[in-house]
Chains A and B, each alone.
Chain A
């Protein structure tokens, strides 16, 4: 069965420092991977996705994610964190060989400290 794990409930980073939000997945075939962000009292917003091709995917607001097939990971990164990046981040996976369900991780709360 497909699954996605975000091992950290919360990540604290000082403003200006690089940030990483971790995500690992499990699918039977090739994965389609997504990152979404949720600000307080808002719906989820799409950040980026990996379908195929270059392992480094660039997305909105300066975020990027690296697909690592051997480690089954898709960590979200940003070189220099902003206080406004503080939010809840969700990793999601879809197995291209299964039905259309997309599975979301439990979310990681990112706190950027001024």
Chain B
């Protein structure tokens, strides 16, 4: 158990809908990362938050957004869903103090999103 929790575990929805995925980082970790894992694209970095602020952006679509709250949990919002958004979405956290890029990321169990 990594200490990172994600809810829900599974999510089935229809095209055009909007969903919210939630992540609670390990106690004390300030950084949260979101990844998308699909069969054809592999593991894609979406976005990182550090202590409530966006820190790095990857291949995140404009239909997707995220935020990190004062208690450090994070939510990933996916809107206008398409069939191709079906994937596993992982959250990871790390201590990641300023300037420390060597910190290990710890991954949650993931949310499996199915868009029908």
Contact = CB atoms under 8 A, between A and B. Distances in A.
Interface of A: 32, 34, 36, 42-46, 49, 51, 90, 94, 96, 99-107
B34 interface: no
B43 interface: yes
A32 B101 CA distance: 8
B56 A100 contact: yes
Question: In this complex, which of A42, A51, A105 has the most chain B Cβ atoms within 10 angstroms of its Cβ?
Answer: A42
Contacts of B2: 43, 45
B110 interface: yes
A100 B48 contact: yes
Contacts of A107: 42-43
Interface string B81-116: 000000000101000100001101111111000000
